[in-house]
Amino acid sequence: MKRILITMLCLILFLAACGNGDDSSKSNSKEDKGTKSYTTDDGSKVKIPKNPKRVLVLTANYGNFKKLGVKPIAITSVFPDSKYLNMDKIKKIDPEDVEAAAKLKPDLIITYKENKNNKKLSKIAPTVPLKVQNMDYKDTHIEIGKLVNQEAKAKKQADKLSKKLAEDGKAIQSHIGEDKTFSIMDIQAKDIYQFGPRFGRGSEAIYEGFGLKEDPEAKEVMPKEKYMKVPTEKFNEYSGDYLLVPTEDGQKPNNNFVNSDIWHNNKAVKNDNVIFYPMDEAIYADLISVEKQAELFKKELMKS
């Protein structure tokens, strides 16, 4: 009889535990399906999933999600593949193709504020427009962490990289001199474009990460958009001690301007302080890309 009572007691405890497990599962399920209010850059409120499962990324921030371990259901097709991010196997769609977005059944859409179809996209799923130029690469990563309920992880990752780049920046300045200035220019056959901080092309690693200085004359005339077309006669005036040139293949371009006297009379060119690097990898400003860009720049600058 005693053995029977013990057996029945164990069975009751087992069933109770199963019941509690079901309640816990239901509770977790409810939590996963819950929503929270998110405030966008312009102050608007958007209700988004607490734990989104099907995120559609229509901005250049795939690397931020990848760093956080979140795999989007698709990303924008307007940016090139980067070897740093292994993007070739992920689905891509036109960021303004509302029908394609709807077919994917997202539960959260990340887009740019400038996307003309944001209102239509918001009818498919909660849509968050980003204005990334208002944030540095660290704040952008933390903000994306908030969207996928991983703010603490994102902050830890951003702080770790920020600390590393600051230390590397000090080592670089110790090697080349604290007063050296830098310019990032896209040297095309007919046009020259210059980029300031927070505009990709490696600017996050150089200016915000390493803390290196912009050319002062270029900085003074740089528009708020942080890029400008440079007249050929102003090229040497806006070029710093070091010239960083993103190109299609990471090699020195072969065009009339690079073969001109203006180019050859440039102080960075004459001092062999020009760094050419691949444009496709330099466009992005997520933590993965910025870290890889910084490794490349540090290697080249420590050789100079």
Share of the chain above pLDDT 90, in %: 81
Place of tokens 């200016």: 207
Residue 21 lies in a domain: no
pTM over 0.95? The answer is no
Shared domain for 118 and 249, answered yes or no, is: no
Residue 135 lies in a domain: no
Q: In what order do the strands lie in the sheet with 55-57?
A: 92-93, 74-76, 55-57, 108-112, 127-130
As for how many domains the chain has, the answer is 2
Which of 84, 114, 130 is where one domain is finished?
A: 130
Residue 17 lies in a domain: no
Shared domain for 168 and 221, answered yes or no, is: yes
Shared domain for 108 and 189, answered yes or no, is: no
Which residue range(s) make up the domain with 116? 35-130
- Band of residue 26 on the pLDDT scale cut at 50, 70, 90: very low
Give strand pairing partners of 45: 39
Residue 56 lies in a domain: yes
pLDDT tens-digit profile of 144-178? 999 999 999 999 999 999 999 999 999 999 999 99
Shared domain for 117 and 205, answered yes or no, is: no
Residue 107 lies in a domain: yes
Residue 281 lies in a domain: yes
Residue 18 lies in a domain: no
The CATH number that applies at residue 216 is: 3.40.50.1980
Q: How far apart are CA 112 and CA 120, in angstroms?
A: 13
